[in-house]
């Protein structure tokens, strides 16, 4: 089935009701371009960098205690960003957007909604430089999620919503 067709999108929406699939790309977009939008690094390429780190598997894994249904939006309704999917545009920056989104959601959950703004993906893209980027000369050519987390841990993050939105949080 053609993933760009209305038929395919309808099949997704009929199969689930948690979110709504829709066309968000121009009619003339190619599958190659769509594939490029998912340009984070495969972890196995850099596995050697972490060979000396100790793996700490969970000691207990009791599957029976997991709930049948769990929806973050229901558990933390005050965290408005949990339900949001950010738009990376035509930049291959999913790795930076995911890091910023996860940090945003975790801060909101940990503070019970007291910290309820978006951390900036653009800051990660522009400031992490050669540490994160696959090709430092092109910030939109993919990057490393592990290095984005290192950057956030070492340098911190600034607030900021969607590109050109002027959404910032000031003290």
pLDDT at res. 83: 83
pLDDT attached to residue 105: 94
Q: Which pLDDT score is estimated for 168?
A: 63
Question: Does residue 52 contact residue 152 with C-beta atoms inside 8 Å?
Answer: no
Residues 18 and 45 in one domain: no
CB contact burial 125-157 (16+ within 10 A = b; e otherwise):
beebeeebbbeeeebbebbbbbbbbebbeeeeb
> Are 87 and 132 found together in one domain?
yes
pLDDT in tens, the chain (171 residues): 677 788 988 998 999 887 888 877 777 777 777 666 655 556 666 666 666 665 655 555 556 677 778 888 899 999 988 888 887 777 888 888 999 999 999 999 999 999 888 999 988 988 887 788 877 777 788 888 888 999 999 999 888 877 666 666 654
- Residue 101's pLDDT is 93
What's the CATH code of the domain at 98? 3.90.70.10
Same domain, 77 and 144: yes
Whether residue 72 sits in one domain with residue 151: yes
Same domain, 147 and 68: yes
Alpha-carbon distance 93 to 113, whole Å?
A: 27
0.75 surpassed by pTM: no
Q: Answer yes or no: do 45 and 20 share one domain.
A: no
Same domain, yes or no: 5 and 68: no
Same domain, residue pair 11 and 43: no
Domain tally for the chain? 2
My answer on whether 32 and 79 are in the same domain is no
The pLDDT value recorded for residue 128 is: 86
- The H-assigned helical ranges of the chain are 6-15, 31-36, 72-75, 94-110, 121-127, 129-132, 145-155
Residues 76 and 102 in one domain: yes
Residues 71 and 121 placed together within one structural domain of the fold: yes
Q: Which two tokens stand for residue 56?
A: 């700490």
Q: Can you give the residue range of the structural domain that contains 156?
A: 38-53+60-171
């Amino acid at each position: 089935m053609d993933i760009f067709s209305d038929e395919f999108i309808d099949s997704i929406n009929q199969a689930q009701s948690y979110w709504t699939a829709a066309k968000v790309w121009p009619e003339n977009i190619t599958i190659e371009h769509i594939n490029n939008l998912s340009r984070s690094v495969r972890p196995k390429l850099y596995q050697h960098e972490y060979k000396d780190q100790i793996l700490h598997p969970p000691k207990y894994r009791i599957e029976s205690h997991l709930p049948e249904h769990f929806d973050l939006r229901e558990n933390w309704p005050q965290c408005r960003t949990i339900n949001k999917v950010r738009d990376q545009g035509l930049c291959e920056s999913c790795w930076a957007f995911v890091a910023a989104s996860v940090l945003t959601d975790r801060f909101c959950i940990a503070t019970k909604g007291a910290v309820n703004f978006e951390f900036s993906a653009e800051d990660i893209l522009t400031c992490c430089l050669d540490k994160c980027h696959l090709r430092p000369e092109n910030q939109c050519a993919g990057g490393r999620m592990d290095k984005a987390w290192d950057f956030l841990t070492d340098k911190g993050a600034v607030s900021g919503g969607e590109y050109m939105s002027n959404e910032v949080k000031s003290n």
